[in-house]
Structures are given as structure tokens and as C-alpha cells.
Homo-oligomer: A and B are copies of this chain.
Amino acid sequence: MAIGPDTKGVYTIAPTPFEADGKIDWESLDSMVDFYERCGVDGMTILGIMGEAPKLDAGESLEIVKRIVARTRLPVIVGVSAPGFAAMRSLARASIEVGAQGVMIAPPPALRTDDQIVTYFRNASEAVGEDVPFVLQDYPLTLSVVMTPVVIRRIVTDNPACFMLKHEDWPGLEKISALRGFQKDGSLRPLSILTGNGGLFLDFEMERGADGAMTGYSFPDMLVDVVKLSVAGERDKAHDLFDAHLPYLRYEQQPGVGLAVRKYVMMKRGAIASDAQRKPGSALSAAARQEVDYLLMRLESRVRKQAPR
């Protein structure tokens, strides 16, 4: 189960379960891993932005990596984005040592010019070690760093260790087409593209050439099925399933409060014991919880009508 430029499928972005007082909930880490395996995902990406990674200290981060790697036989990718390369390197090396298969790196928000971005990833790969496979995260909405397809190609070309793009530009469909076009004209080597943004455009991202999804939607089983249907050429069925989820998916995909929604639903689905976040966190009002419940009810009813698929 090695990861590489031909990796396909669904890598879930895992949240970090906490107890009400902010302590890490180690048992929920285990049950969450089991939940993801039951959902059929192909791998896990942990300690990303939606994993509340910046709220952990260095020791906690590594403990979480160890726990998850010990629990699963799926490939684990560790978010190691940090304000500096020393902290990035420390977590990356230690994670690989305990069994993680790769790391994910996002650019710091201050980067502006093409050259600044390209140089940053060169330095980052050198810092974590050229032997450490890394995922390039392209997420302008939150990180405010804008990478053109040409810049992505430069990064991939410069860094043999870059095997995957976590694509979450918005809008982003043309970017997938541009990168796949580069590959057709021979100017870009093979590269796995998994898409994010909560899955909001997964239906068309697959059709544009994505290899799957890397996002934390609380129904990873749906992501798995949509990816499979799409790969199988069952376009209408893929869209039918996707559309059934969209009213709720859109609700979970909100910035800020979205993580509260996601954890609430994962709690309802039995994946984690509590939807608590570490401070500073968002929380669901009573009204929001009722809205989510209503959306889930409608989702269930609509999916039931579609079955048997």
C-alpha cells in the first residue's frame, strides 16, 4: 500500500477528537480510525487545518501520529505545515520513523510571487528530507497563496518527493484540466490529484481528471462511492448520489462553523464520542443543530429512494 504519483481513491482528512475540557480523546482516535476503515477509505491525512493541528503542541502531535499509525494498516499522511522548517522537519522525520507514509505541506500566507512559492517548497523538501514523499496543498481560500498551474508544475519538477497535489483552489476545475493537459503535452510528470473543499465539486472534479478526494466530509462512504461510480463511467448515478448529499454537504463545507458541523455528525454516526473543539473553536447553536438534523433526515430519505444502486 505504498503511496505515489499513481495513488487513487479517498484519503480522508481526519479531525482530532477532544474531550469537553480540551484534552485529546485517545479512545475516540481509535474509534474514528475504525469508522474510516468501515467507510472504505484508502488512506488518512491527519494533523491538517481541519484536524486542529495548530492547536496541538509538538509532543501531542507526535503522540497522535503514533496512535493512528498503530491502529490502522492504511497509509497515513501527516500535515507538517509550520511557521518554520525546524519544526516542520522535527515532526516530519519523527512521523516517518513511526510509520507514516508521507507528509503534507501548505505554504505560509505571506508568500506572494511565483518565485517565493517555488523557493519555499524547494526549501521545505530539503528540510524534511528528499526521501520524504510530500503532498503539495493548494488552498488559496484559507491560505491566501495563489499558485498558477505553471507554478505547480515548477514545484513538482523541482521536487522529486512531491507525489500528490491536494487540490482545493476554488474555483478549481480548470486547474485540474490545465495540469492534466501539461501531462498530455509531456511537460509534467505523473502526479496524483486528490481534491478537497469538503467535496463540493467532487462530481465534476472526477470528470476533469482527479484521482479521488482528500477531504474530511463526514460521510466518507459517499465520497468512496462517488469516486467508484465516476471511475466506472456511471455518470448519472454518481451525480444522483452526490446531489442527494449536496444540501447537507454544503452546510458542512462552511468555513469556521463547518468543523463543528462535521464533528457533530461524526459524533452522531458513532465515530467519535464528543464534538468538542479545543479553544479557540466554533460551536453549534441549537438552531444550527436542528438544521443539521433536518438535513440528515432529508438526506437519508433521498438516499433510500435511490437504493438499490
Cβ-closest chain B residue relative to A288: B173
Tell yes or no: A20 within 8 A of B by CB. Answer: no
Instruction: Report the Cα distance A174→B27, complex, angstroms.
Output: 32
Task: Report B-chain residues with C-beta under 8 Å of the C-beta of A112.
Answer: 112, 145-146
Tell yes or no: A89 within 8 A of B by CB. Answer: yes
Q: Do most interface residues of chain A lie in helix, strand or loop, or is the interface mixed?
A: helix
Taking the full assembly, how many copies of this chain does it contain? Answer: 4
Task: Report B-chain residues with C-beta under 8 Å of the C-beta of A307.
Answer: none
Task: Report B-chain residues with C-beta under 8 Å of the C-beta of A57.
Answer: 58, 84, 86-87, 89-90
A181 to chain B, nearest CB (A): 11
Task: Report B-chain residues with C-beta under 8 Å of the C-beta of A109.
Answer: 109
Q: Given A54-B83, A60-B86, A246-B247, are A113 and B146 neighbors across the interface (CB < 8 Å)?
A: yes
A84 to chain B, nearest CB (A): 4
> Is B287's CB under 8 angstroms from A120's CB?
no
Chain A 267-309 interface 0/1 with B at a Cβ cutoff of 8 Å (1 = within): 0000000000011100001011001000000100000000000
> Within A238-287, which residues are at the interface with B (CB < 8 Å)?
239, 242-243, 246-247, 250-251, 254-258, 278-280, 285, 287
Number of residues of chain A lying within 8 A (CB) of chain B: 62
Tell yes or no: A183 within 8 A of B by CB. Answer: no
Tell yes or no: A66 within 8 A of B by CB. Answer: no
A156 to chain B, nearest CB (A): 17
Instruction: Report the Cα distance A285→B176, complex, angstroms.
Output: 13
Instruction: Report the Cα distance A254→B55, complex, angstroms.
Output: 31
Cβ-closest chain B residue relative to A114: B114
Task: Report B-chain residues with C-beta under 8 Å of the C-beta of A201.
Answer: 250
Task: Report B-chain residues with C-beta under 8 Å of the C-beta of A247.
Answer: 203, 239, 242-243, 246
Tell yes or no: A187 within 8 A of B by CB. Answer: no
> Is B250's CB under 8 angstroms from A170's CB?
no
Instruction: A56-B84, A57-B87 given; name 16 further pairs at CB < 8 Å.
Output: A55-B85, A56-B87, A57-B86, A57-B89, A85-B278, A115-B148, A170-B255, A171-B254, A171-B255, A173-B287, A200-B250, A201-B250, A204-B291, A239-B298, A243-B246, A243-B298
